[in-house]
Amino acid sequence: MSSDELMFGNEQAETPPEQRAASLDPWPVLVVDDDEQVHAMTRILLNDFEFEDRRFAIVSAFSAAEARAILAQRTDLPVVLLDVVMETHDAGLRLVHHIRRDLGNRHIRIILRTGQPGQAPEREVIVAYDINDYKSKAELTAQKLFTSLIGAVRGWRDLVTIETLNHSLERRVAERTAELERQSALADQQRRFIENLVEMMPSPVWYRDAAGSCTLCNRAFRELFPDAAGGIEWTIGGYGRKGTGGETFSFETSVVGPDGAPRELLVVKRPLTGADGAPAGLIGIATDITERRLMEHELHRLATTDPLSGAHNRRHILDLLERRLNRQGGADPKSVVGPACLIMLDIDHFKRINDGLGHAAGDAAIRSVVEEIRRHLRPTDQIGRIGGEEFAILLMDTGRNDAAVIAERLRSGLAALSIPLPDGQRFQLTGSFGLTEVRPLADTVECVLGRADHALYRAKALGRNRVELT
């Protein structure tokens, strides 16, 4: 914000919102992906979103090389949505290396995206390359993409703010030192101005001198940490790569607030140097991201759960199966996990229930089936609704023979159900089961589903209310 904006803020406050929004440049988002549809879809998803009266504008790069050219010309990009695999299998990571090391850009927030869950980078890679987030393309709904971008823009803005504040403090320290020899009164006035400015900031801010003592913290800091009074040694723990020299570094951590409730914080720190270049201490700022984290968790629950039955939805149960396939086998014997089996379940004559008793009975049947199945499963087993009256049950660390025993137990449990209706009546149902073992090294999701479906169809053809294996 310019000095004119600070001095004449009341006049600007009278500007109508539509004129104010039209006068603001949109938030630029660099999308680096070799798939044109990804660019088009991202543009559509963000078309109706605004943040602080500013829209989002997509800056497209269809290769890492094209992205480098854009980054060489623009320094106003707060966030980049980056594909992992483009020209090469590691083109995305090489671009991250170029941004952080070659360009020295520590502000831009980097969110990796991939349509191949198997290409997810290792945790050590994410830390080493200073990657801020990783998302599967399949899980980026409009709301979740918007949430990720808002967090990234806020993080970028905080980094810019702390660096601006750092430069301002360093400049003012140098000016004050020179002025102290001639006008100590003016120097004292400048010091009070900086302290008041920091005190008014809504985010917790603190300063630790070269000896490690917390000599300055603002009102927001004291409210969040009421026991953190004068001169204490205060350390926020958390994951993150510490900066070296004079660079900014950041990490996320959890703390307990004064009300005893946990708080999630984004912490940004930067070492300060004096006029002679010697270390002068460290300044930090914390942003409360608790609500953002809660919203992310709720969005994840909604995105992975079938609303009627409470079981996993089709996409999520298939994702779990694919992850299981990716974890099995390999050259390292330690990477081999136990066997797993997939059971496909279909409620017998479900159309008769809907037609004869009504859709409310059909809904009750689906919910009762899921409750009964879960009653027989272990915490590690998973159930998902594939569609209509069909379900997939993933049995972890279970061989074919044991899975057959479990499937027979499930069949008997369903046959014994007595499902109540609102009018006091009850009805019963049965289910047909198709079972197959998940084969390491050779299987794909489609192969496993195909075999289980084949066994399910055979169970139906042989009279239903039975378990068939393949």
Q: What is the pLDDT of residues 303-320, one digit of tens each?
A: 999 999 999 999 999 999
Q: Which residue has the tokens 């995305």?
A: 92
pLDDT score recorded for residue 118: 54
Q: What is the pLDDT of residues 338-383, one digit of tens each?
A: 899 999 999 999 999 999 999 999 999 999 999 999 999 999 999 9
Whether the predicted pLDDT of 188 surpasses 80? no
Who contacts 345 (Cβ-Cβ below 8 Å, separation ≥6)? Answer: 369, 373, 390, 391, 392, 393, 410, 431, 432, 433, 456
Dump the DSSP string for 61-110.
ESSHHHHHHHHHH-----EEEEES-SSSTTHHHHHHHIIIIIS---SSEE
CA distance 304 to 315: 7
Extract the runs of DSSP E, i.e. beta strands, from 204-299. Answer: 205-209, 214-217, 249-256, 262-273, 279-288
pLDDT score recorded for residue 122: 52
Six token digits for residue 337: 């996990």
pLDDT score recorded for residue 123: 59
The average confidence (pLDDT) of the chain is 83
CA distance 83 to 115: 8
Q: What is the mean pLDDT of residues 446-468?
A: 96
The CA–CA distances, whole Å, from 240 to 92, 94, 131, 269, 314 equal: 21, 20, 10, 11, 35
The CA–CA distances, whole Å, from 112 to 85, 235, 263 equal: 10, 30, 26
CA distance 307 to 13: 44
Count the Cβ atoms, other than its own, within 10 Å of residue 422: 9
Instruction: For the chain, list the domains and their CATH numbers.
Output: 3-140 (3.40.50.2300), 187-293 (3.30.450.20), 305-469 (3.30.70.270)
Q: What is the pLDDT of residues 114-164, one digit of tens each?
A: 766 555 555 566 666 678 887 776 666 777 888 888 888 888 888 888 888
pLDDT score recorded for residue 59: 93
Q: What is the pLDDT of residues 37-85, one digit of tens each?
A: 889 888 888 888 888 888 999 999 999 899 999 999 988 899 999 988 8
pLDDT score recorded for residue 239: 36
CA distance 96 to 93: 5
Six token digits for residue 4: 């004119």
CA distance 445 to 183: 76
CA distance 401 to 399: 6
CA distance 308 to 364: 9
Amino acid at 33: D
CA 19 to chain centroid, in Å, comes to 34
Who contacts 188 (Cβ-Cβ below 8 Å, separation ≥6)? Answer: none
Identify the band that residue 29 occupies on the pLDDT scale cut at 50, 70 and 90: very high
CA 214 to chain centroid, in Å, comes to 33
| Largest distance between two CA atoms of the chain | 101
Whether the predicted pLDDT of 243 surpasses 60? no
CA distance 245 to 182: 33
CA distance 299 to 147: 10
Contact 31, 60 (CB under 8 A): yes
CA distance 76 to 61: 16
pLDDT score recorded for residue 16: 57
Identify the band that residue 240 occupies on the pLDDT scale cut at 50, 70 and 90: very low
CA dihedral 337, 310, 432, 321 (to 10 degrees): -30
CA distance 465 to 470: 17
pLDDT score recorded for residue 445: 94
CA 417 to chain centroid, in Å, comes to 40
